[in-house]
Structure 1
Amino acid sequence: MREGGGTAALVRVWAAGLIVLLFSEYLQVTYFYGTFADAQRLEGFGGRLLLVHVPNALCVALTVWASGRLHREPFRSSRARHAAALFAVPAFAQVVSLAVQWERASAEGLSMSCAVVVVGAFCGRAADRLQEGDR
């Protein structure tokens, strides 16, 4: 196995994961959030959970799942490389999100944002593992 081939596989998976994340977040913000969210619905924690956090977790899960589906053997057999392939894009997106929103973020927003990434990544990895037998 060549080292360059593994790096190219990671870059390809990261690029695809970034595209999936951006596209799914765009659809969420444009269609779902734009249609259902208003100030009254976002006042309570339940409204924010259903209209912001759960859809964000679904976007992260879809990103991790898609990255896992694209990460092929023989690179997939390395746990470290496979974890990097699956979780690098959501982790990078979380860091960027925290950096951009740090000044105006609340404790609830920060903790829920981190929880969303963890839950979404777990669900995406679980979906990927369920489909490992299909290969």
Structure 2
Amino acid sequence: MTHQWSGRRTGDGSREGFSRAFFALTQSWAAAIVVLLVSQFVLFTVVTQPLGTTERMQSFGWRLALGHLPTLVWALLATLAAARVYPEPHRHHLGRYLLACLTVPVASRLMDVSVKWGLVGTESLLVPSVAVLLGCFAGVALDRLVFE
């Protein structure tokens, strides 16, 4: 029995199984990137920008409602989009499934942290990171519990 990643060799020496699995991952990541960009844009222009006045952003409750909860929403939507696009033959391998679902939201958050490191306080680094992780967890749970 051959390993699912190894696949069968074709005439030119490439591995067909690896290319299929890699294409499935990139397809999932592309869907997550599109959903992430669209949802961040919509949430920023509809929620954060019109409602986020200087006075409101002084309160933790308003920061949570206008900044961190939309972060949780886009992470959930991006994770769910990646999970739904990831094709069926590969969904049964938990490691690859989680790699497909979580790479884009977590990489986006890591990039944001690396850009803002040293410029903002602990709350601005920690709370959005927790929101992204909760959104990712909710997206995976929603995909596994509702759609399967």
TM-score, structure 2 normalization: 0.86
1:105 alignment partner, SS class: coil
- Whole-angstrom CA distance in 1 between matches of 2:116 and 2:86: 31
Partners in 1 of 2:131 and 2:68 — Cα distance? 6
| CA apart distance, 1:69 | 0.6
Q: Equivalent residue for 2:144? A: 129
Q: Please, which runs of 5 or more residues in structure 1 have no aligned partner?
A: none
Moved more, 122-131 or 88-97: 122-131
Greater length-normalized contact order (CA 8 Å, ≥ 6 residues apart): 1
The within-5 A match list for 1:22-61 is: 22-61=37-76
Tell me the equivalent position of 2:115.
Answer: 100
Partner of 1:7: 22
Are 2:39 and 1:16 aligned? Answer: no
Q: 1:112 is aligned with what amino acid?
A: V
Identity of aligned residues (%): 30
- Runs of 4 or more consecutive aligned structure 1 residues displaced over 6 Å after TM superposition: none
Shift in Å at residue 112 of structure 1? 0.3
For these two proteins, the number of residue pairs brought into alignment is 133
Name structure 2 gaps, 5 residues minimum.
1-6, 8-16
The CA deviation at 1:101 is 1.1
- Residue type matched to 2:24 in 1? A
How far off its partner does 1:130 sit?
Answer: 2.2
Q: What RMSD in Å do the two structures reach over aligned CA positions?
A: 1.0
Amino acid at match of 1:61: L
The structure whose residues are more often helix, as a share, is 1
Q: CA deviation at 1:103?
A: 2.8
| Corresponding residue for residue 69 of structure 1 | 84
The structure having more radius of gyration, on CA atoms, is 2
TM-score in terms of structure 1 length: 0.94
What letter corresponds to residue 84 of structure 2 in structure 1? R
SS at structure 1 position matched to 2:134: helix
Amino acid at match of 1:12: Q
| Amino acid corresponding to residue 94 of structure 1 in structure 2 | R
Letter in 2 for 1:42: M
Amino acid at match of 1:97: D
